[in-house]
Amino acid sequence: MLQSSLVLALAGLASFSTAAPTAFKRGAGKRGLGFAKNAQDKANMFTGSGQVTWAYDWEARATDAPGFGVPGVEFVPMLHDGGDMFAGAFPSDCQGALDAGAKHILSINEPDICGNGGTCMSVDDTVKAHRNLVQPFADSHPDVTIVSPAYSNAGVDAMNQFLGACTGCRIDHIATHWYGPDDVEAFKAHVSNVHDITQKPIWVTEFQAQSGDTEKFMRDAITWLDNQDWVYRYAYFSVEASMTNGMSLNNLGNIFSQ
């Protein structure tokens, strides 16, 4: 995650290879959950309304126990970073998630951020890890959607550098993050900017208002996201940090699940 106000970088359209275009969509079914590994029981509290259709935990498996799925939703595997802790298990764990029904793969988490959960990776290292670990699945699974590394709202320039450097990589969708105060217009401007640059379906895999009227921000943000046909999926940060108290949904959790 990122703790900063909105930074918009100006950048030109990057060049990268793609698969066939994916249909954009408007309306319900875009919402997802970011939850801590082994905390899928909390994720289950959101699935009854039909609004939440997918989940992820910044890794390639949902639990240390056998099995890869989260009941009622698509568990989407992620390559957290290129280090040995995650890279070694990624090929087998990602394949397990695909075998369990995953149709999408998320690439690296916040390579532009050092600290606060970011992976602090150079563009070159991010390209190398993506090519070595994610691109093989793009080559062997043409029906699986490949989502870019998720750069923060301070990392638009780094995102552009990655897309320009990862020549020959199949990037179908773009992931981005946003953190700031309860300024929904700033949030909308960032997400729109990323789409304008890339012209790809957008996943907002982390976003959070860190001050102000967080409930109004969430209502306004998710209404807007649901009405943009180029926004494919989104997840508020996070199940544990913002939307639950113990094993109950709090006000934000109830808004997000309805």
pLDDT tens digits, 236-254: 999 999 999 999 999 999 9
At residue 160, the pLDDT reads 99
Average pLDDT over every residue of 140-168: 99
Distances (CA, A) of 57 to 109, 182, 187, 205: 11, 25, 23, 11
- Domain 31-257, CATH number (from 3.20.20.80, 3.60.21.10, 3.90.1150.10, 3.30.565.10): 3.20.20.80
Specify the length of the chain in residues.
Answer: 258
At residue 109, the pLDDT reads 99
Q: What is the pTM of this model?
A: 0.91
pLDDT tens digit string along 53-63?
Answer: 999 999 999 99
The domain segmentation of the chain, as residue ranges, is 31-257
